[in-house]
Amino acid sequence: MMEIKHLHPSLHAILLLEEEARINKIQQDSWIGYSRAQCIIAKLEDLLIYPRVIRMPNLLIVGDTNNGKTILANRFFVSHKPYLREADQSFIAPIVYCQAPPKPDEKRFYNNLLDSLFVPYRVSDRVEHKQQQLLNVLRRMETKMLIIDEIHHILAGNLAAQRIFLNVIKYLANELRIVIVGVGTKDALAAINTDPQLSNRFEPVILPKWTMNEEYLRLLASMEYLTPLKKPSNLVEYNMSQCILGMSEGTIGEISTVIKKAAILAIKQGTEQISRKILDSIDYIPPSERKKHFESY
């Protein structure tokens, strides 16, 4: 096979596969540990081993839609998945990960948590019963951290419902002495700030949009290294990198989408590399244009 320094060695064999298999590989999720993400993961690791104290520290991971928040949180969760402890055959869940319900609803929140732990419960049970059931389960599983994704959903309810939901989060943190990690859009800051006690406990960490800098170019180089095309695309070249940044409007999810669509088109057309012509030809609408389209109806 020809020399292919532009591609990760583990992907060399992929180039020998049929077109459909290569496209399938491109469409799969892949993790790129850029420096900001690694910094946040390091913070999460430190919080996971934090001693149980009366006032536990919490973290709020904030960023624009499709800018890698959920992927980051899920990757951390997967690295500490529940396991069966051989010594006493106990099921241990150091981290529990769930989504906030679409609106602040205590009972649905408990249901989501119990579902994530595969714990059976009666839908008709009173909320107090589910709360106690959850507390017992989390103690038994020696849970140290609760990650709540889409926490900005709190704002979908009225002020009374928001207060109740925030009190639930505060109660779980106090009663179990566990770390709470919220994940959401910038609205999450507004949601948490409605409770002065909680806002003082949550340290916000921001996943900013990408800009034309060295970190962004490293991201593009990594993405190209993990995209099974037979020819180098040189995505870090100024015109290419500027074009991708403009199309994606600076979120990592959109950057990935642009590159994946372009790579698939390059395979289908037989060029085997992403070019400006390919970028101009992909079926892609930038996020702001999509928003205008929906608002026009």
- pTM of structure: 0.90
Tell me if 95 sits within 8 A of 79, measured CB to CB.
no
DSSP-derived secondary structure for 179-216:
EEEEEE-THHHHHHHTSHHHHHHEEEEEEPPP-SSHHH
pLDDT for the residue 297: 57
Identify each DSSP E strand in the chain by its residue range: 58-63, 83-85, 90-92, 95-99, 145-149, 179-184, 202-207
Q: Is 194 exposed, middle or buried (0-12, 13-18, 19+ CB in 10 A)?
A: middle
On average, the pLDDT of the chain sits at: 93
pLDDT for the residue 160: 92
Tell me if 255 sits within 8 A of 7, measured CB to CB.
no
Residue ranges of the chain with per-residue pLDDT less than 70: 1-3, 293-297
Question: Which H or E run includes 24?
Answer: helix 19-27
**Beta strand pairing status for 90-92 and 83-85?**
antiparallel
pLDDT for the residue 195: 85
CATH architecture of structural domain 35-207: 3-Layer(aba) Sandwich (3.40)
Phi, psi at 289, each rounded to 5°: -70, -35
**pLDDT digit string (tens) for 185-215?**
999 888 888 888 888 889 999 999 999 999 9
**Beta strand pairing status for 145-149 and 83-85?**
unpaired
pLDDT for the residue 197: 83
**pLDDT digit string (tens) for 252-269?**
999 999 999 999 999 999
